Structure formats: C-alpha cells, structure tokens
A and B are shown apart, each in its own frame.
Chain A
Amino acid sequence: MNFTNEVWVFIEQRDGKPADVSFELLCKGHKLAQSMNGKLKSLVIGDGVKEIAKETFKYGVDEALLVEHSSLKNYRTLPYSRIINDLVKTIVPRIVLFGATIIGRDLAPRVASNTRSGLTADCTDLQVSDVKYVGKDYANLLLQIRPAFGGNIIATIITPEVPTQMATVREGVMELTPVEYPNEIKITRIEYKPDPIDELVQIIEQHREDNKVNLKAAPIIVAGGYGLSTKENFRLVEELAHTVGGEIAGSRAAVDAGFVTPDRQVGQTGVTVRPKLYIAVGISGAIQHRAGMQESNKIIAINSDPEAPIFEIAHYGIVGDAMEIIPAFIEAYKHKLK
C-alpha cells in the first residue's frame, strides 16, 4: 500500500474566521503524527486566508497547504471537495481529519466516496496503534473511537486496507494546547483550477449570528435537567448560574421540554464542554449527556434519586430536593463573599 506518512487537518473557516474545532484537531493531529513519525499538515482553503495558514503553526504544523481564490471565499461542497479529492489522490496522506460540523459532515463523506477511503463520523477519541486484525498485523493504524448504537456502546473502528484513513471529530472533544516550539512557517500554495461543475450551486445569501452563547469558553456551567419538572423551577438554575458567574445549560430533555434554548444543550447532540466546574441539577446522567460533560474538571451532581447515573461521574454528590438545596447553596455562597 502506497501512502505518504502525513496527517492532514482540514481547516474550516467561516467568513474568514477559523473554526475552533480545526485547531483542536491540529493538537490531536500533532500527537498522532508524532506517534507514527509522520508530518502534520494543515489544509487551508478560502480567499485571503494566508493569516489562518500562518496561525496553524502554533499547533505544531510542519507545512500548510494553501488554496486561495475569490470563488472559494465561502465553503461550497463542489469546489472544496474537488480540491481535496485531487490532493488526496496525488499525495495520498495517511490520515485526514475534519471537524464534525455542518461543513465537515458535508465535505468529508464526499471526499471519502471519491477517494474510496475509510471514514468514521463523530469520533470522540483518536489513537495510532499497531493492530492485529483477522490474523494480520498492521503497523500504525488509526483507531477511530466513537459512541455507537444510541450511545450504549463505544466502538473502535479501523480501516486497515485503505491508504487514507479519515475521521470527523466533534467540537470541544480534543484539547486545545499550542505547542511550546512551533516549526518554522512553511506555506505551499496549491493552484485552484476552476471547473464549471464548481458553479452548479450558488450561495444567494448567508445569515450567521455570532454565537451569543459560548458554553465552551465558560469556566463554570450550571445545567438543569428534566428533573426540575417546570420552567419556573428551572429559574433556580439560572439564579444559581448568575450567582456563581456561570453559564446556563440544559440536558436534551430540558431543551425538549422548553426549559432552556437549544443553543445551550450539552451532550452528544449538543455542545461538548470541559469547564472548571459543572453543576448538574436534576439531570439523571444518560450516556448522551455524560458524553458532553464528563471531561469537566469538577462535577457537582444534585439529584433526588441516589441511584441516578450522574453520581457515578460526579466529584461531589448531593442527594436531595434541588428546590431546597439551590436556595441554600446561593445563600451560603453569598454569605461567603461578604
């Protein structure tokens, strides 16, 4: 099997701003490249995005591949996938990573289909390891780890027989840490050759609101669940968040019940967070929720059911009625500050 020993990360940009998840992937990609003695390359596509290409070196990139053209300003499936298809087929990198964003999940399957590569969606962890599979030994395979089957199992997927292994990874799952000694900046420009097929889909207009809610950046998150029963009771969660300077969040059940807006949903189908403190109030702790918060530095669980799974991962557990505990907590906290 012929391939180049390289890890590529597709750097997603929206309105010329790089997506956090792409830099998170570079950090992971850096580790993967090290463990297979390979190189890490960032793949930057857009219009006037050289600064983004430069920025990727903070995260351990050896070389940036840069494709710039005025018609590539906004992401569109056809030109972007054509560019990556050609690059993958010419250079044959060992690993290509994409964010599991709307753009990543639109783009990655198209590229995997064209290049007949293996692709695993929504990975929560990636490792490089030697693997014995059906009696054969494979060196340095990418282990693509993801929850499956409604979150009831964790599956490790491998793609042993293809030269290029691809995966998408959700935002916030990998840690973002710049490297201590960045490599010298080396940007390679790739020429874009326009094709009529690239223009089959046109963007008429775009509306993007800057994320008003930024759960991922919040050091403290107070999240409520369905156990709070009513929207009025959920106000207590808001009050607690306000008191301790945290952001408000909710489980999927709380969002479905209308207690809190969807942009504040934590979990597998919401946001993945790793704050300094996560306070879970009236959240039972289904696997789908835990997947989005179990990496939190400290977890406090407040629940009337002592058997609730949330207690299994909590650092501090308080069994009791949230309607009494929260006001007491707020009062105690305010008293301390005096």
Chain B
Amino acid sequence: MFNSIVMVKQVPDTANISGKVMKDDGTVNRTKLPAIFNHEDRVALELALQVKEKYGGKVIAITMGPPRASDVLRECLYMGVDETYLVSDRKFAGADTLATSYVLSEVIKKIGNYHFVFAGRQAIDGDTAQVGPQTAEKLGIPQITYTEEILKVEENKIKIKRKLDGGYEIVESTLPVLITVLKDVVNPRPFSAKRVMAFKNARSVMDLEKLAEENSLLYIDKLVHEYKEKNLLINTFTMDDLNLDVQRCGISGSPTKVHKVESVVLKGGNQIKIEPTKAGLNNLIDQLMTDHIFA
C-alpha cells in the first residue's frame, strides 16, 4: 500500500494562441485564454494511478489556485483519484514558486501519511520546473526530477529511470520521495464515463458558499455535510485552515518581482532580398565567399 499526493495546476493555454485572444496592438489578452489542466501534471497523475493499481493505496490530488481551479480537481476525480484538495485564498494570490512551494509543502504536511508526491516537471505558464524541487526541499525529502519510468516499488524504496543531459540514469530512493515527470512518459487515461456521472456534481467548499449566498434557503454547514456524505466534496484549505506565516504567502512571500514586460517585437531592418534566380543565387554565394563564410 502506497499513498500518493499529486500536485496539479490549472494553467492558461499558452500553447494554442489564436487570433481570438490577440488585442489590437498585437499582444495576447491573457484573460481570454482558456484554462486547462497542465499536461505534465496529468501525466504525473497517471503514474500515481498506475502505482495505486499495481501496489494498492490511495491517490490524493491537490491544487493551489483561484476557486475555479476546482475544475481540474473534478477532472482528477474523473480519472480515478480518491480525494481532492483545493488550496485557495486571496492571500495566496501573486505567489511565485517560492511562496507556492511553501504553501503546498504545508498542505502536504497537513494531509500527511504519504509515500510519494508526484508532479509534472513544469507548468506551461511559467516553464520554471521549480515548484517540485522547492517543495521537496521544504518537506526535507529527496526528489527525483525528469522521471521517465518507474521501474520498481518496494517496501521502503523506489527504483526510477530518469533523464540526463545526453543519456539516462537509474536511481533508487528511499520513501517518501517527490517525483517530477516528463511529458511523454505515459498516456494519461481518458475520463471514465461512470466516474464522470458520479463526480460531475463534486463541489468545493467555495462553490458551496457561493451557492448558499445565492439561495437563502441553503445553509452552508448543511450543504458541506450533505456533499461530504455523498462523497462529492472537494476539500478546501484556505489561509485559516493552515498554520501559515502570512509573510511567506502570496506577494509578500515572493522574492521575484516583474520589473518590466515587453511584447516581443521583431527586429526587422537590413534584409537583402535575393531573387530566386540563377543570377540571384550566384550573387549570394559570391557574397558569402567574400565574407569567408563559405570556403
């Protein structure tokens, strides 16, 4: 029996930027980008589910983000996780990787009783690959990044093949360990139709609070109780639920600041147009020979 906690993230779809999200000045309107499940995290989840199927245990998915990030947790439920946690608070907003890893490590400590923490190598909105290792450091546990394959899980250790620059290595780690996963190592399973039916009404405490605010006949405590009974509650941690140093959260806990942002502008300039003719190409080759670029 091995328990896994999977860190997942909802990200703006930066890979598929279409004309619809471009502003008149040619820059990207980020608020219009669709929010998606970060692909590498989904691969990490698949690996965790495979470990569960092979060796038994439980898979828990956690995400930090705005209330609507509960969307990715529902998707985790559709794929097969046992429990979900939404970590959300205005005080967490604007967190860089250091502040994010601080909060996530405290969440993981609170959940406890885990053997593995899984995450995608990196998220497409920042491509930093920092949150995994930073969380492992704060938990005081080893890490195996750039995982390509889980070879074997034993009583108190795991054997993994991981990528190296120009090759690979096989390493063995004691448990618990944090594992980050490369994008192509396994194909994430599709949603199970049965699970979609079962969990499509799963809601976070924040969703339920909103529901209660809109309808005076509903009481939040009762709602939470009902959803929990039906196994449809997405557990929710806010600042108050965690024992956190507020100075280390959100913007105040984030050392990195964006000083300047420039939209990419093409340089343009001194291009010489070459006609696709014999004479044109001859001139070009002569020029490159004069410049000693061609021998």
Contact = CB atoms under 8 A, between A and B. Distances in A.
Given A106-B145, A207-B167, A313-B267, A117 B285 contact: no
| Interface residue SS majority, chain A | mixed
B270 interface: yes
A208 B164 contact: yes
B294 A106 contact: no
Interface residues of A, number: 86
A250 to B, nearest CB: 18
B270 A153 contact: no
B250 to A, nearest CB: 14
Contacts of B133: 77, 106-107, 109-110, 113
Report which residue of B166, B256, B295 has the largest number of chain A beta carbons within 10 angstroms of its beta carbon.
B256
B128 interface: yes
Contacts of A131: 259
B110 to A, nearest CB: 19
Contacts of B241: none
B130 A121 contact: yes
Nearest to A328: B281
A120 B127 CA distance: 10
A157 B166 contact: no
A110 B276 contact: no
B264 A316 contact: no
Contacts of B266: 309, 312-313
A22 B281 CA distance: 40
B294 A118 contact: no
Contacts of A336: 282, 285-286, 289
A205 B142 contact: no
Nearest to A76: B171
B108 interface: no
A106 B257 contact: no
Given A157-B257, A201-B172, A332-B281, 15 more contacts: A19-B165, A78-B142, A152-B264, A153-B27, A153-B264, A158-B259, A200-B142, A206-B164, A206-B169, A210-B166, A324-B276, A325-B281, A328-B276, A329-B281, A332-B278
B3 interface: no
Contacts of A133: 257, 259
| Interface residue SS majority, chain B | mixed
Contacts of A108: 130
B166 A149 contact: no
A328 B128 CA distance: 44
A260 B141 CA distance: 40
Contacts of B164: 14, 102, 206, 208
A105 interface: yes
Nearest to A329: B281
What are the 10 tightest A-B residue pairs by CB atom distance, in nearest-first order? A150-B14, A118-B255, A208-B167, A320-B276, A312-B266, A113-B134, A113-B137, A109-B130, A109-B133, A121-B128
A191 interface: no
Interface of A: 14, 19, 77-78, 81, 101-103, 105-110, 112-114, 116-122, 131, 133, 143-144, 147-162, 200-211, 219-220, 244-245, 276-277, 287, 294, 297-298, 300, 309, 311-321, 324-325, 328-329, 332-333, 336
A276 B281 CA distance: 18
Contact of A207 (B14, B169, B270): B169
B274 A105 contact: no
Interface string B40-51: 000000000000
Report which residue of B97, B130, B285 has the largest number of chain A beta carbons within 10 angstroms of its beta carbon.
B130
Interface in B102-127: 124-127
Contact of A116 (B98, B132, B257): B98
A315 B255 CA distance: 41
B94 to A, nearest CB: 13
A148 B143 CA distance: 26
A147 B132 CA distance: 21
Contact of B171 (A203, A210, A220): A203
A113 B281 contact: no
